[in-house]
């Protein structure tokens, strides 16, 4: 049996599965592929004909969709992120609600989707259709998730209402650590359990990663943080000349809570 958040797709079978909803569980049953998804906690388990089987693919369509609904982003503190692999700027495009619905309907023929990871800018408010999209997804028993960097209290209220999980990007190079920590607290203060920090590891941010690791233990704003997720630098967009020489390995090699010092 496999657990966790994963995306698997396939068209190898044609028979329709039996899908039921018994709050908080979304349940799919078929001969060779089955799952249970808890819409409140995000717990997901899949198995095949027997519990010991781990199907390589979902035969009915994706379990999770990752859809960018806006290419607009003004960065944080008026500065665009130097490691944005998409090179988004304040000039971009928004996906209309009707187009989003069409996309979901095409990839969700059996109502098998469990989650939709939505891509947008730092504030979460770049696409005015976002909250209609989220409300509609919830009606389909599909849980929206997303990543933000600089949100207001009003936006935090809406995220807590609609999202199952939310990541807060750390933009140490343009905003220090405080903005990220404040946004984490805004979300956890509203009862969200699945709030993570996304931290890009590269030459200029690797040293500060140890500060963040210490702050998780010491800074009260992070008391209810779910996880710190390190992301490898994608050398595309504005990060095309970025350096990512084994910072991931160095950070993940930490043992016994120690924070070794190394030269960059």
Average pLDDT over residues 86-115: 96
Same domain, 237 and 185: yes
Residue 263 lies in a domain: no
**In terms of Cα–Cα distance, which of 26, 36, 61 is closest to 141?**
26
- The pLDDT of residue 90 is 94
Q: What's the CA gap between 67 and 119, in Å, rounded?
A: 6
Q: Say whether pLDDT at 30 is over 90.
A: yes
Q: How confident is the model at residue 78 (pLDDT cuts 50, 70, 90)?
A: confident
- Same domain for 195 and 114, yes or no, is yes
| Contact between residue 95 and residue 129 where contact means Cβ atoms under 8 Å apart | yes
User: Do residues 29 and 74 share a domain?
Assistant: no
- 215-253: per-residue pLDDT in tens? 999 999 999 999 999 998 888 888 887 655 455 555 555
Same domain, 237 and 114: yes
Which whole number is the average pLDDT over 95-101?
98
Would you state the pLDDT for residue 246? Answer: 53
What separation, in Å, do the N-terminal and C-terminal C-alpha atoms of the chain show? 42
What is each CA distance from 258 to 27, 172, 220, in whole angstroms? 43, 22, 20
The answer on 126 and 26 residing in a single domain is no
Whether residue 177 sits in one domain with residue 149: yes
26 and 68: one domain?
A: no
Residue bearing the bigger pLDDT, 252 or 162: 162
Residue 58 domain-assigned?
no
Residues 43 and 80 in one domain: no
- Label residue 206 by pLDDT band (50, 70, 90): confident
Domain match, 193 and 84 both: yes
How many domains, in total, are found in the chain?
Answer: 2
Cα(39)–Cα(144) distance, rounded to whole angstroms?
10
Tell me what pLDDT residue 236 has: 86
Residue 58's CB: how many other CB atoms inside 10 A? 26
Of the candidate ranges 98-102, 129-133, 236-240, the one whose mean pLDDT is the lowest: 236-240
d(CA 39, CA 140): 11
CATH number at residue 224: 3.20.20.70
Q: Is residue 69 part of a domain?
A: yes
Is residue 105 assigned to a domain?
yes
Mean of pLDDT over the chain: 88
User: pLDDT-based confidence at 144, cuts 50/70/90?
Assistant: very high
Q: Percent of the chain beyond pLDDT 70?
A: 86
Domain of residue 100: give its range: 64-252
């Amino acid at each position: 049996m496999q657990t966790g958040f994963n995306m698997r797709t396939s068209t190898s079978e044609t028979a329709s599965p039996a899908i039921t909803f018994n709050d908080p569980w979304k349940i799919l049953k078929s001969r060779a592929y089955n799952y249970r998804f808890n819409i409140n906690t995000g717990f997901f388990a899949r198995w095949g004909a027997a519990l010991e089987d781990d199907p390589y693919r979902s035969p009915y369509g994706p379990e999770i969709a990752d859809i960018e609904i806006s290419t607009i982003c003004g960065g944080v503190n008026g500065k665009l992120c130097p490691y944005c692999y998409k090179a988004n700027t304040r000039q971009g495009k928004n996906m209309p609600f009707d187009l989003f619905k069409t996309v979901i309907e095409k990839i969700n023929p059996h109502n098998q989707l469990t989650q939709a990871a939505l891509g947008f800018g730092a504030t979460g408010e770049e696409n005015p259709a976002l909250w209609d999209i989220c409300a509609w997804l919830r009606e389909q028993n599909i849980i929206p998730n997303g990543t933000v960097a600089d949100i207001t209290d009003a936006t935090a209220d809406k995220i807590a209402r609609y999202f199952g999980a939310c990541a807060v990007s750390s933009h140490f190079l343009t905003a220090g650590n405080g903005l990220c920590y404040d946004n984490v607290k805004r979300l956890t203060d509203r009862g969200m359990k699945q709030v993570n920090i996304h931290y890009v590891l590269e030459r200029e941010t690797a040293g500060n990663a140890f500060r963040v690791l210490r702050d998780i233990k010491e800074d009260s704003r992070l008391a209810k943080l779910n996880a710190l997720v390190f992301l490898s630098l994608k050398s595309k967009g504005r990060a095309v000349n970025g350096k990512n020489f084994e910072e991931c390995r160095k950070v993940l090699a930490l043992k016994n809570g120690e924070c070794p010092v190394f030269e960059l």
